[in-house]
Amino acid sequence: MSVSWGHRLLASVLSALASAGLVHLAMIVAFWISDSSNAAIIGAAHQYFLSATLISFVIVFAFGVFGLLGRWWGALVAGVLAGLVAPLAGTSFQVVSQGVPIDDTFLPSIASTLLTVNFGFLIVTAAVVPTVGRLVYRSLVADDRSAGSTDRVALVRLPAKNLADGQTTHIDRSPVDTDLADRQWDAYVAAFTDHGWTTQEVPYAERLADSVFVEDAVVVIDGLAIIARSGSDERRGETDGVEEVLAARGYPVERIMSPGTLDGGDVLVVGTTVYVGRSSRTNADGIAQLRALLVTRGFDVVAVPVTRALHLKSTVTALPDGTVIGHDDLVDEPRLFARFLPVPEREGVAVVALDDETLLMSEAAPETAELLRELGYDVVAVDISEFEKLEGCVTCLSVRLG
């Protein structure tokens, strides 16, 4: 779901007004205090910073109109840009309006004000816009998104410090750039918030390298949370915190018990059919336990052999219309799926439906993205290269509750 233009304009105006107004007030107060609480300085400070305040309002407003204030990096750029451009332009206007000629010393003297009288404006603006301005913008945009939709929540978990030590089983290990991974995770989460989802972080697992792949810790179907039990001993601690979050949200909780094993990445729900991958992480007992929990709820549980990739959803996912997509080299038995569509790239097998018309997928599969667009879907492509080095994909980085 997208944000209406009217609501975005309102959010942009109010966030720009809050940011510019707070900075303007801060500068007046700072000058008043620095001048020994001399009331006469208030009018002079107001007049001096008025032009800069108006220009900063325009800059922040423009960032809001283009939807950039909803992202932390967009708000930060807006704050820094407004903090630099607005006082320089405002001071230039003030000086020129007083009849000062423009000569070779004009620009250097104006620039030097960033280290003197305008320094506070720069610092305060760069701090206020990404905090207060972004908060105002996001709160108003969130209100608009929730007005006509059900509550759609995605659980996510910050990448662990030792992400680069994550497990690989079916691919060769490659060096992981953890700083890039952090930025990619931010963009991934932003894709949900930009399309009307609320994201909630589950407790951080600092020393569990694979914990960012939060989908593997739990399966949520028909209002029931089923805590997984990974076939990897090292990953079983990842369920800590996930269960507490879901219980707090009112979900009844069941568990896969020993000797059963199950990873959430092996479970694909298509209508009332639940496909479960029999993989290196999910065994027959785990599938049987899942079937016992779901059959009374009206679901058919279909076991699917998975030998060519880590999880079932590393090989196939489903479009909103129920069509299962996958790559021929990865799928053991495509005949098990009612409707199966091959895609041209391995990285294109995983999609997340942000809504009935919008798909989230890896940008490493441009041919698949074009194929899906030709089928009438909007495609949001994100770079998750560092997670793909650990056999991750767009599905396993979140648990979708709505």
Each residue's pLDDT tens digit, 277-306: 999 999 999 999 999 999 999 999 999 999
Contact 225, 243 (CB under 8 A): yes
- Give the position of tokens 């960032």: 63
What confidence tens digit (pLDDT) does each residue in 110-136 have? 899 999 999 999 999 999 999 999 889
Question: CA–CA separation, 228 vs 282, rounded Å?
Answer: 9
Q: pLDDT tens digits, residue range 326-336?
A: 999 999 999 99
pLDDT of residue 311: 97
**DSSP per residue, 77-130:** HHHHHHHHHHHHHHHHHHHHHTT----TTHHHHHHHGGGTTTHHHHHHHHHHII
Token pair in block for residue 166: 């994550």
Residue 200 phi, psi dihedral angles, 5° rounding:
-130, 125
Cis amide linkage into residue 259, ω under 30° from 0: yes
Asked whether the predicted pLDDT for residue 263 surpasses 50, the reply is: yes
pLDDT given at position 5: 65
- 70 bridge partner residues: none
Residue 276 pLDDT class (50, 70, 90 cuts): very high
- Over residues 240-248, the mean pLDDT reads 92
Q: What percent of the chain has pLDDT over 90?
A: 80
Interatomic CA distance for residues 267 and 289, integer angstroms: 13
Give the max Cα distance, the chain: 85
Render pLDDT for 135-193 as a digit per residue (tens, 0 to 9).
Answer: 898 777 654 444 444 478 999 999 999 999 999 999 999 999 999 999 999 999 999 99
pLDDT of residue 106: 80
Mean pLDDT confidence for 77-104: 88
> Are 87 and 51 within 8 A, CB to CB?
no
CA dist 119 and 87 (Å) reads 9
**Mean pLDDT calculated for residue range 53-59:** 96
pTM for this prediction: 0.65
pLDDT of residue 133: 93
Nearest to 118 by CA among 109, 106, 129, 128: 109
Q: What pLDDT sits at residue 354?
A: 95
Sequence-distant (≥ 6) Cβ neighbours of residue 36 within 8 angstroms: none
Q: Is 116 in contact with 11 (CB distance < 8 Å)?
A: no
Distance CA 144, CA 1 (A): 10
> For all residues of the chain together, what is the average pLDDT?
92
Other CB atoms within 10 A of residue 147 CB: 11
User: What is the H or E stretch that residue 281 is in?
Assistant: none
- pLDDT greater than 70 at residue 360: yes
The residue type of 336 is L
Q: How far apart are CA 24 and CA 17, in angstroms?
A: 10
> Is the CB of residue 164 less than 8 Å from the CB of residue 175?
yes
CA 349 to the chain's CA centroid: 20
354 contacts 380 by C-beta, under 8 angstroms: yes
Our CA angle for 237, 238, 240, nearest 5°, is: 75
Q: Say if residues 94 and 48 touch (Cβ distance below 8 Å).
A: yes
238 confidence band (pLDDT: 50, 70, 90): very high
- Buried b / exposed e across 47-63, counting CB within 10 Å, b at 16+? ebbebbbebbbebbbbb
Question: Which residues are catalytically annotated?
Answer: 311, 396
Residue 287 tokens read as 């599938």
Has residue 54 got a pLDDT over 60?
yes
Residue 402 contacts by C-beta under 8 Å, 6 or more apart in sequence? 150, 151, 152, 153, 197
State the pLDDT at residue 4.
56
The encoded tokens of residue 30 equal 């700072």
Q: Nearest to residue 11, comparing CAs of 145, 139, 194, 128?
A: 139
Domains recognised in the chain with CATH numbers:
5-146 (no CATH), 149-400 (3.75.10.10)
pLDDT in tens, 197-221: 999 999 999 999 999 999 999 999 9
